[in-house]
Amino acid sequence: MNRKKIGIALGSGGAKGFAHVGVLKALEEHHIPVDLVSGSSMGSLVGAFYATGMRPDFMDRLARSLTWRHWVDVTVPRVGLVAGKKIHDMVTLLTRGTEFAQIDMPLAIVATELLSKRLVTFTSGRISDAVRASISIPGVFVPYVREDGVYVDGGVMERVPVAAARDLGADVVIAVDVAAFMKHEVPGTMMDVIMMSLDAMTDQLVQQRLPTADLCITPNLSDIGTSQFSRAAEAIEIGYQTTLSLMSKIRELVGLPQTDSVGEEQVEDS
């Protein structure tokens, strides 16, 4: 019997995106199959790790152990504050330099090409290159430049890449929007200003496209700033708990039997 093909679309949001790890952890613990993944910005990073075989528990430990010194290489602020080579090298190492064609799980990563002002979906080439393009927050990261274009953050045009998951062949798309809840206060860092501005510019488009997902998980991360990478553990836990609260709906959506509190299938009274 053929089951529905399930895709998960992981959105942008800076440090808030660590919640994606908690979402994947909850899905895995409850045996919800994920057949394909699409990602934008921070969602592309988590999605790339997942699609290349990294388990959520390992991602959790990795997120808790990394500091900004592992991935930030400050440069002379000309077109960006962070050169991006450190994180590019780190992602290449952790994905083993894998190309899209070499992995079993279909993966799509979105980025914005500045010169043509269009959304680009990467499904071929080296995965770490696509991630480097997708995470290039304007004004924070130096844009990723190569022969076919100048790339900045996928969230500039597609905060949550639902369409990309559909294009990969998903019958059911579970979207994760980590930027759905914003705290109404003065931003504390340059990155917060930039990310809040991007969210404001794209919010109307997001509201039009998110309903095309079959389910949207929206962890309330309003208390965590987009630049607060030291709060990874909190973001992961919020993503995890939010997904658990929706597990009944998720199981129904993907056609799996409901479970009780310890994860055993419910048995109807005879």
Tens of pLDDT, residue by residue over 58-114, are: 999 999 888 777 778 888 678 888 899 999 999 999 999 999 999 999 999 999 999
Task: Assess whether 153 carries a catalytic annotation.
Answer: yes
Q: Whole-model pTM?
A: 0.91
Question: pLDDT tens digits, residue range 159-209?
Answer: 999 999 999 999 999 999 999 887 777 777 777 888 788 877 777 777 778
pLDDT recorded at residue 38: 98
- pLDDT of 80: 84
- Catalytic residue (one of 12, 38, 40, 41): 41
- Rounded Cα–Cα distance for residues 145 and 224 (Å): 31
Q: What b-and-e string marks burial along 58-93, b requiring 16 or more CB atoms within 10 Å of the CB?
A: ebbeebeeeeeeebbeeeeeeebbbebebbbebbbe
3-state secondary structure 146-181: ECCEEEECHHHCCCCCHHHHHHCCCCEEEEECCCCC
Interacting residues of 41 by C-beta distance below 8 A, sequence separation 6+: 11, 12, 13, 14, 17, 134, 135, 137, 153, 154, 155
Query: Which among 237, 226, 242 has a CA at the least distance from the CA of 17?
Result: 226
6-254 — its CATH code? Answer: 3.40.1090.10
In this structure, what is the dihedral angle of CA atoms 106, 42, 29, 64, given to the nearest 10 degrees? 140
Percentage of the chain lying above the pLDDT 70 cut? 95
Q: Name the β-bridge partners of 40.
A: 110
> Do 10 and 177 touch, CB atoms closer than 8 A?
no
Determine the pLDDT at residue 1.
56
- Binning pLDDT at 50, 70 and 90, where does residue 265 land? very low
Q: What's the rounded mean pLDDT across residues 18-44?
A: 97
pLDDT at 27: 98
Distance CA 172, CA 244 (A): 18
Give 263's pLDDT tier (boundaries 50, 70, 90).
very low
pLDDT of res. 238: 98
Residue 247 CB coordination number (10 Å): 18
Give the DSSP H/E element, type plus range, for residue 223.
Answer: none
Catalytic residue among 153, 177, 192, 214: 153
Measuring CA to CA, which residue among 157, 156, 131, 155 is closest to residue 144?
131
**Annotated domain spans of the chain:** 6-254
pLDDT of residue 206: 79
Average pLDDT, the chain: 90
Q: What is the model's pLDDT at position 264? A: 44
